[in-house]
Chain A
Amino acid sequence: MIDREQVLHVARLARLRLSEEEVERMAGEMSTILGHVETMNELDLEGVEPTSHVVELQNVLREDVPRECLPRERALEQAPDVADGGFRVPTPRHG
């Protein structure tokens, strides 16, 4: 079971603000979903290797040659707040 404290902890990690009502609902929904997820443990997975990638790929090396990239002004074009050729953000810590 996921409790209120766990929901608030995970929300902090995920940088998500949740309303009071959402915290309660999320605790119930996460518990139900993770309850189903835990049925995985019915399988005997002793000695089974984890799969992180489905296709057998070898590393492929290429020459380290500089290429054109997005011009700075294009990269900044969609930002909500731009200053001095960079992204402007609120101060990292208040006060």
Chain B
Amino acid sequence: MTDPLHMTAAQQAELIRGGDVSASEVFDFWRGRAEADDLGSYLWVADEAPAELGELPPVAVKDLFCVEGVPSGAASRILKGYRPPYTATSVRKLREAGAAVLGKTNQDEFAMGSSNENSGYGPVQNPWDRTRVPGGSSGGSAAAVAAGTAPWAIGTDTGGSIRQPAALCGVVGLKPTYGAVSRYGMIAFASSLDQCGPLTRDVTDAALLFRHLVGRDPCDSTSLEFPEEVPLPSAERLDGLRFGVWGLSEEGLDPGVADVVRETLGTIEQLGGAVEEVDLPSARHGIAAYYVIAPAEASANLARYDGVRYGPRAAVDGDLTAMYEQTRHDGFGEEVRRRIMIGTYALSSGYYEAYYGTAQRVRTRIAEDFRAAFERVDFVVTPTSPTVAFKLGERTADPLAMYLSDYFTVPMPLAGIPAVSIPCGLSEGLPVGFQIAGPAFSEGRILDAAYALEGAIGFEGVPRT
């Protein structure tokens, strides 16, 4: 059969549909690739194809998605060995569309991190340079797609966890509108921000996977019916579209990244689009607000891990409280403990209004900034990450420096709006991501613009061997 390694998922689906290859040949090919992964991308690989296979190639799934009978633990030791009794709606929908689960991908524990170094099971290496991080928290999904150990993958994005690793690994990553995809069966981090989305080799694959993920789910009361069938992208030009650039003069933006992003703005103009600057005056406080809201919600969501219903229990000669405290000490990694502490502090008596209340008001302001911007422009565009992939270990000693990796990606989930990251070039031989954000439910238009841009940029992925 033709080598699926050098084909997009959509092309493979075409071959399966046409009867040129069987779905099980495609599945076995990718199973072999996933088994041979040596970047640390996977925590579990399916040992055989399911009895019935559909017409889509298999999908790699971030570890925090519950899949019945399959180890699903958000890369946390506190869920070691956990095999859920039910399956996440997003995974169920992909299976129904014909994509089997290929494996569970490594991630930062409970999706808390920007480098995948907070996994309870070891870091993931970036396929462009093994001494560097793949980004996070969906680092395993991004690395697997980039290295060709998965045809495509899903991850989750709370403050940038799909878009930033996609940028650092040179793949496409879409964070949908809040509510577009059901969160049922996703191990929760910050419930008002978490969204599931695709990480893929190109924009068409992202649209194809996303179209099967959307829809209202009675099991997630915050999910919404997507207003249209997600169209597959086809635009070649950007005539008449206005792109508002944000953040190119921000301190902390790497000059090499800024150069590649400026070239991309030139490409937009060559395709007929108009580029102007927009100001999002409150968005620069996004990180501050995010690092109250996300830890606060996490501290509540993670209260359930106490050694009673699932996961290992610490052997303690003491009372119930002693058992809780020791189980949580042993099971949670350092970053998770740090965020539980920050969140608990921010919600504690006397501090709630000063921290959580203020952060929620900043959130309102950021949403208003975007609304004002979208009166003037169709899209807001930014660099996805202020830097290219950094070295493993470079930022682990400085939590705040790590948090600032999310500078350009945090405002969108705070406003609940969708954004895609596409690879737009190389700086220092490493991929740079270009982010395109639009109003709620504008995924179809965002992906169309990204598709036109992708065609003009002609980004070559990391060589797959």
Contacts and interface: CB of A to CB of B under 8 A. Distances in A.
Interface residues of A, number: 53
A15 B306 contact: yes
Interface in A1-31: 2, 6-7, 10-11, 13-18, 22, 26, 29-30
Given A6-B345, A74-B85, A15 B337 contact: no
Interface string A60-78: 1010000000100011011
Contacts of A10: 341, 344-345, 348
Q: Is the interface of A mostly helix, strand, loop or mixed?
A: loop
A62 B348 CA distance: 35
Given A17-B325, A87-B309, A92-B320, A40 B289 contact: yes
A7 B341 contact: yes
A77 B85 contact: yes
Interface stretch (B135-143, B144-152, B360-368): B360-368
A36 B410 CA distance: 15
A33 B291 CA distance: 8
Given A26-B338, A41-B358, A52-B192, A80 B364 contact: no
A55 interface: yes
A80 B311 contact: yes
Interface in B212-226: 218, 221-222, 224
B337 A37 contact: no
Nearest to A93: B319
A33 B313 CA distance: 31
B342 interface: yes
B312 interface: yes
Nearest to B413: A54
Contacts of A41: 358
A85 to B, nearest CB: 14
Contact of B285 (A17, A29, A40, A60): A40
Given A37-B291, A78-B83, A81-B313, A43 B282 contact: yes
A33 B400 contact: yes
A50 B357 contact: yes
10 contacts: A14-B299, A16-B340, A39-B285, A39-B288, A45-B365, A55-B222, A75-B85, A80-B307, A81-B313, A91-B320
